[in-house]
A = this chain, B = another copy of it.
Amino acid sequence: MSASVAERPTTDGTENEPTKTGPEAVREGAFGNARSLSCRECGTEVELGPHYACPECFGPLEVAYDFPAITREEIEAGPRNIWRYKALLPVPADIEQSPNTEPGFTRLLKADNLGRELGIANLWVKDDSTNPTNSFKDRVVACALSAATELHAKVFACPSTGNLANAVAAAGARAGIKTVVFIPSNLEKPKQVNSAVYTDSLVAVDGNYDDVNKLAQEIAAEEEGWAFVNVNVRPFYAEGSKTLGYEIAEQLGWRLPDQVVIPVASGSQLTKVHKAFQELIKLGLVEEKPYRIFGAQATGCSPVATAYKAGVDAIRPVKPDTIAKSLAIGNPADGIYVLDICRETGGAVEDVTDEEVREGILLLARSEGVFTETAGGTTVACTRKLVEAGLLDTSLETVIINTGMGLKTLDAVSDLVGPAATIAPSYDAFAATGLSS
């Protein structure tokens, strides 16, 4: 690849800026079976590289492939992480040789207790909280890291307020690439520490997340050789979320579920799970069948749910105000595609209050022993609301995705739970609590 540029219609009003990586040639097979970057809107195909917007219509680019024939057995013989699906990702065939965090193949838990609570007969939880840095972001970052490496990027970077920062800093450390992570300077100390342990290039920016994001775009345009995972290598990055869909199908015994409930921030994850299901059908790896996809948002940042409920196509940006900070994207880039998919498949987009988010966290912890962050609480609570509204069919096999872990958002529930009793260290004191058989 020669030095290349891309333009992007930013959603936040900043100027479009070209971005570039180094001038070195890209090796044969660098992106596996990926053929090109293809515009979601007009279908224009451009060369694989650090581009993220269509040169014709400014639509978002996503990776297009020429898939070879592939069997279940070939996939099952692969490693117990996302690279078992490497033939379906924009990564080289020798990806396992490059140091990475080896994310994925997380638990798919049969959730009979939660199912009983929600009135769903056949419920599963796909638990991505057990990824290397405890969120699904390890999947997308692993794909972005591969692209950054193949494009000879010198710096691996992101703007973030949490999970993404952790995942980028950890993956960069392991890969031995210079990593620069940008965060708002008012971020809580524990969240800073959780990224700063991995990198000495954490940069605090005086401003909110939008300011940090704009700065990242500026830097991507100015600096040679920077790969911002969620800016100029975003098409590669986003493909990592497909592995959630692949794993759900494989772990169900190569079968698609009837219904899936997925949290919506930018909306990328939901669209990629759908893409994964479609690919599996096309490749003959699962039987074609109808399935419904549902989106989950927090009411304090629910532009997609609002549009869904209003029956409109346009998504009106909002200023987020919710405890579900990992979902707090007020102007979601893939929101319109989420609407399309949920409508086409017969799903819906729901939203819940912060109070319901907290209840959702506790419900999942107490029924299934899974401590989720606020995003997961949102998904559980939306599932309950979808059942109550009759939008989710309780007789159908349903999977909900837990994208992150509770220790990262401990404050959300710390006032709700605590000791049932505080006692002196004696059996008599214990017996007096009423907790003895």
Q: Please report the C-alpha to C-alpha distance between residue A423 and residue B213 in the assembled complex, in whole angstroms.
A: 14
Q: Closest residue to A408 on the B side, CB-wise?
A: B407
Q: Kindly state the interface size class of chain A when it binds its partner.
A: 35 or more
A307 in contact (CB, < 8 A) = no
Identical chains in the assembly:
2
Can you list, as one digit per residue, whether each of A401-421 has a CB less than 8 Å from chain B (1) or not (0)? 000011110100110011111
Q: Judging by beta carbons under 8 Å apart, are A369 and B107 in contact?
A: no
Can you list, as one digit per residue, whether each of A173-202 has a CB less than 8 Å from chain B (1) or not (0)? 111100010010100011011101111111
Q: Judging by beta carbons under 8 Å apart, are A113 and B176 in contact?
A: yes
Within 8 A of B (CB), among A384-437: 405-408, 410, 413-414, 417-427, 430, 433, 435-437
Within 8 A of B (CB), among A146-195: 154-155, 169-176, 180, 183, 185, 189-190, 192-194
Q: Given A427-B219, A436-B223, A193–B418 Cβ distance below 8 Å?
A: yes
Which of A130, A212, A426 has its CB near the most chain B CB atoms (within 10 A)? Answer: A130
Q: Judging by beta carbons under 8 Å apart, are A419 and B370 in contact?
A: no
Within 8 A of B (CB), among A44-85: 80-81
A286 in contact (CB, < 8 A) = no
In the complex, how many angstroms separate the beta carbon of A189 from the nearest chain B beta carbon?
A: 6
A3 in contact (CB, < 8 A) = no
A321 in contact (CB, < 8 A) = no
Within 8 A of B (CB), among A109-159: 109-110, 112-113, 127, 130-134, 154-155
CB-contact partner of A194 in B154, B193, B407, under 8 A: B407
